[in-house]
Amino acid sequence: MRSRGKSLKAKDGKLPFCAMGVSSVIHPKNPHVPTMHFNYRYFEIEEADGTKQWWFGGGTDLTPTYLNEEDAIHFHKTLKEACDKHDLKLYPKYKKWCDDYFYIKHRGERRGIGGIFFDDVDSPSKEEVFQFVKSCAKAVVPCYVPIVKRHCHDSFTPEEKLWQQLRRGRYVEFNLVYDRGTKFGLLTPGSRIESILMSLPLTARWEYMHTPPESSREAEILEVLRNPKDWVH
């Protein structure tokens, strides 16, 4: 937290904190139904002099195996509507933050097609930020469930299933190498390791130097992951 610019005064090396949140990851079996992740959380720190610092964080993002523009537009528009209820500046700011955060640096690509992400939000007031976070949380079902219903009965080939497994390998790479939540959980004394690693898919795959054919649907999703799009304009 200090590495993000927070000034936190400990007493005798101790810094009492309270952390709470809700987190969910869905990894569907069908490669035409995208993976979805959301997490909304609240932190409170008590400093040496008894003063408290608080902030909210979280976000919702989508990781499809294959690109479906209709799904991407629906997902982002629903999140934008939730943000716009509070401030028109929030969606573009948090959309970019999401694209920047879920970036697999060693691959030069994003984990998925984004959504919204924010952290350290402590203004204008606790109640106003809480109302915003609740709006975001309430948008999870309408932004994702229609996509599931649209594709849950789609047929798929062994080759499409293989590509899904390769993409899930990328998901694992991001979560184990870069994700702050995973690192925070693993460094927290007495934490439940299985809960921290719950974001990982049941199965994943790696292939050495795998590159999909040009102009394929696999190459299409890679292009978007390397160059994020504006889905709502």
What pLDDT was estimated at residue 149?
98
Answer yes or no: 27 catalytic: no
Residues forming a β-bridge with 116:
60
Asked whether the predicted pLDDT for residue 80 surpasses 80, the reply is: yes
Instruction: Report how far residue 97's alpha carbon sits from residue 173's, in angstroms, rounded to the nearest whole number.
Output: 19
Q: Give tens-digit pLDDT for 91-141.
A: 999 999 999 999 999 999 999 999 999 999 999 999 999 999 999 999 999
What pLDDT was estimated at residue 222?
98
SS3 103: strand
What pLDDT was estimated at residue 181?
85
Contact 26, 35 (CB under 8 A): yes
The set of residues, in sequence order, having a beta carbon less than 8 Å from that of 44 and lying 6+ positions away, is: 17, 18, 19, 52, 53, 54
First to last CA, the chain: 35
Residue 150 CA, chain-centre distance (Å), reads 22
Least trusted range by pLDDT, from 16-20, 128-132, 142-146:
16-20
Among the listed residues 32, 37, 74, 76, the single catalytic one is 37
Q: Give tens-digit pLDDT for 57-75.
A: 999 999 999 999 999 999 9
- Cα-based torsion angle of the residue sequence 170, 176, 179, 180 in order, rounded to the nearest 10 degrees: 180
